Amino acid sequence: MLRKRSKPGPGQESVWDYPRPPRLEDSSKLIEVMFNGEVIARSQRAKRILETSHPPVYYIPPEDIKMEYFTSTDRHSYCEWKGMASYYTITVMDRSVPNGAWYYPQPTAGYEGITGYIAIYPSRMDACYVEGEQVQAQEGDFYGGWITHDIVGPFKGGRGSAGW
């Protein structure tokens, strides 16, 4: 059952106005990721994917990530829009998050702009920020969306939303 669409206020975006197939766009907003006391990513050159019913997912260029904390895994998944994803385990000192980040080594046509860029699950980190605002993770953790005050839902991913 579809929940009632939240009406966006001034300066807000509704995820129900995002397109399908998803749109890829550049973002100059400051993106920061904290894990186990370390800033593991900091960028103003991220890209975001906007898809109907989902909060944005930020893809960060590897040059703006401390890649010494990222180790490739054998996990892969398939997105009907972007193609085959590969995963990283994130390890900082004594803490690890298996498959805590993903990327597209060869995304499909239209999404080449995120080639090699890395998306990180905010729910698995200590904190993720957009322009200094701590994000709320998209419920369900399947999609990895980043929710801020300027994004309204309801959001797919939580209990009962599989059929949306």
Residue 162, class by beta-carbon neighbours within 10 Å (0-12 exposed, 13-18 middle, 19+ buried)?
exposed
Q: What pLDDT was estimated at residue 159?
A: 76
Q: What pLDDT was estimated at residue 1?
A: 44
- What is the C-alpha separation between 33 and 71, in angstroms, rounded? 17
Q: Residue 5 above 90 pLDDT?
A: no
Query: What are the structure tokens assigned to 22, written together?
Result: 């998803």
Q: What is the pTM of this model?
A: 0.94
Q: What pLDDT was estimated at residue 142?
A: 74
Q: What is the mean pLDDT of the chain?
A: 94
Q: Residue 163 above 70 pLDDT?
A: no
Q: What pLDDT was estimated at residue 141?
A: 67
- What is the C-alpha separation between 59 and 62, in angstroms, rounded? 9
Q: Residue 162 above 80 pLDDT?
A: no
Q: What average pLDDT does the segment 84-94 reach?
A: 98
pLDDT band at 97 (very low <50, low <70, confident <90, very high): very high
Q: What pLDDT was estimated at residue 147?
A: 96
Q: Residue 71 above 80 pLDDT?
A: yes
- What is the C-alpha separation between 84 and 106, in angstroms, rounded? 7
Q: What pLDDT was estimated at residue 140?
A: 80
Contact at 8 Å (CB) between 113 and 24?
Answer: yes
Q: What pLDDT was estimated at residue 101?
A: 98
Least confident of 2-6, 43-47, 123-127, 154-158: 2-6
Contact at 8 Å (CB) between 150 and 12?
Answer: yes
Burial 67-76 (b: 16+ CB within 10 A, else e): eebbeeeeee
Sequence-separated (6 or more) residues with CB below 8 Å from residue 86: 72, 73, 75, 76, 102, 103, 104, 105
Q: Residue 80 above 50 pLDDT?
A: yes
- What is the C-alpha separation between 84 and 107, in angstroms, rounded? 7
